[in-house]
Amino acid sequence: MISNSKNAEGAKMFDQAYYQGAQMRFQEAIQADPSNPDGYYNLARTYHQLAKLHGQKTDYQQAESYYHQCLDHNPNYQDCYRGLAVLLVEQNRSADAFTLMEGWASRTPSTSAPKIELARLYEEAGNRDAAKQQLLEAVNVDPMNARALAALGKLREDSGETAQAVANYQRSLQVDPNQPQLASRIGALATPVAPGAPIVTPPGGSRLATPAPAPIMVR
């Protein structure tokens, strides 16, 4: 409980950009419970932020060390993998970032989290096909993963696969209704003015194209 309290205090300080105070609280959290991975992750995140602000190599080194310590205590800490991968890319070590994520994915083939993070890494590197493949694998492993479904829908929307994008968005929204941005995208994509839509002329008015209803697909 002391460790959790210190982590919560440090998180508030971090959000207020009081990084020195946050460091102290996260170190106290680790001292209170050296087995709690949250303290290591939070401390890594703080050093990472300082590295981005000041460009100090030592801050990057400290951040990387604490990310690894976090993973030592929780080998499936998703946010920690993401933070470490971002740090590696920022240091022009993209190959190491992919090795990190691919290793995690190979060690846990029946989980979707590493596939989702690997997909994000591929997308950021400009390899959308590989990103899509990883998301398809993530959905195959966990068909009700709202995050994977939403990400897959976004890729499909961007590539013009509108019907499939709507289907993915709908499934994601069914799993997690608290996604108003997806409801907005479904509304925008599901009611286009289709070619050959009937033309309606209101009394004394201009002719209006009536949108053809788009099929709602749920897979």
Assigned domain for 31 exists: yes
pLDDT digit string, tens, across residues 27-37:
999 999 999 99
Assigned domain for 24 exists: yes
Q: Which of 178, 207, 208, 175 is nearest to 193 (CA)?
A: 208
For residues 214 and 67, the model is more confident at 67
Q: Tell me, letter by letter, the H, E, C secondary structure of 73-134.
A: HCCCCHHHHHHHHHHHHHCCCHHHHHHHHHHHHHHCCCCCHHHHHHHHHHHHCCCHHHHHHH
Task: Check whether residue 123 and residue 87 sit in a common domain.
Answer: no
pLDDT exceeds cutoff 70 at 105: yes
pLDDT exceeds cutoff 90 at 47: yes
What is the structure's pLDDT at 77? 97
pLDDT > 90: percent of the chain? 86
What is the structure's pLDDT at 196? 52
Task: Check whether residue 125 and residue 46 sit in a common domain.
Answer: no
pLDDT exceeds cutoff 90 at 194: no
Assigned domain for 166 exists: yes
Residue 124 is part of which domain span? Answer: 119-191
Q: Average of pLDDT values for 106-131?
A: 96
pLDDT exceeds cutoff 90 at 219: no
Specify the number of domains making up the chain.
2
Assigned domain for 197 exists: no
What is the structure's pLDDT at 15? 97
pLDDT exceeds cutoff 80 at 211: no
Quote the mean pLDDT of the chain: 89
What is the structure's pLDDT at 17? 97
Task: Check whether residue 78 and residue 8 sit in a common domain.
Answer: yes
For residues 214 and 104, the model is more confident at 104
Confidence of residue 206 (pLDDT cuts 50, 70, 90): very low
Residue 66 CA: distances (Å) to CA of 94, 114, 180: 19, 20, 35
CATH of the domain at 150: 1.25.40.10
Q: 3-state DSSP call for residue 198?
A: coil
d(CA 94, CA 79): 18
pLDDT exceeds cutoff 70 at 197: no
Pick the last residue of a domain from 92, 127, 158: 92
pLDDT digit string, tens, across residues 158-188:
999 999 999 999 999 999 999 999 999 999 9
What is the structure's pLDDT at 190? 81
Q: Average of pLDDT values for 14-39?
A: 97
Give the pairing type, strands 199-200 and 208-209: antiparallel
Task: Check whether residue 137 and residue 50 sit in a common domain.
Answer: no
pLDDT > 70: percent of the chain? 87
Q: Average of pLDDT values for 2-17?
A: 96
Assigned domain for 216 exists: no
Q: Average of pLDDT values for 105-131?
A: 96
